[in-house]
Structure 1
């Protein structure tokens, strides 16, 4: 170790000037916060989206669209998916209880069947909604459909 390699221990020195420690420090008095006003006080917090008096972005942008509070959301299953699920879980009934048992639908979710894909298995359906194409495919495969409200 040589004299020019000497350094103070880590944490022993402070790079920044300590604020508010007298006029001789060069940062005394107001501690670089300016004079008066809420920003110079302890505990000041700026509002998240405050833009310094400029009209905030959420007020500059127009409101768009419409959210229908009465919209009915369905958990959708296509016939191709159902054929795969029937093989995987060995289902004969496709209803809310059996799907919930396997964790495929939530407690309050409504089920809708759509006609995309092919159904080979004979399955009994108790669902909230079904498309016409899907209904025809289910009945052609020997299954039955019951709508539940």
Structure 2
């Protein structure tokens, strides 16, 4: 009977041991990653800022965040050391992979229709609608309205 009473405590202690072990392993990997930083490496801080390592000291890192912008950070504030390809892709928008241009999906469906003109060319020549408030003096004369064809409405308060 005493073994059944101790079983929940044994399971709880085992779970705590496994959790602390994995946390220590992640912490050790982070320390190794920060120790491998070299000048010229691209990094992301824990705040989400991307920069290039300019100088590495024992507890601090000098980062180049842009032309003439040097920032001093604690080593613990570095969230990730990025590969050159990943840093260039994120910061400069440079894709460095071996995919061909044939794999690129077009932004619009014009290439799927077989015509060379973009989808925006088919837009009608309607004049833009002015939603501003008009004075009675700005209203055209009633005779001029009679010559025009009735226009479509978009279901405003006058439409029933």
TM-score of Structure 1 vs Structure 2, range by shorter chain? under 0.3
Of Structure 1 and Structure 2, the greater helix share is in: 2
Identify the structure with bigger relative contact order (alpha carbons < 8 Å, sequence gap 6+).
1
Report the TM-score when normalising by structure 2. Answer: 0.25
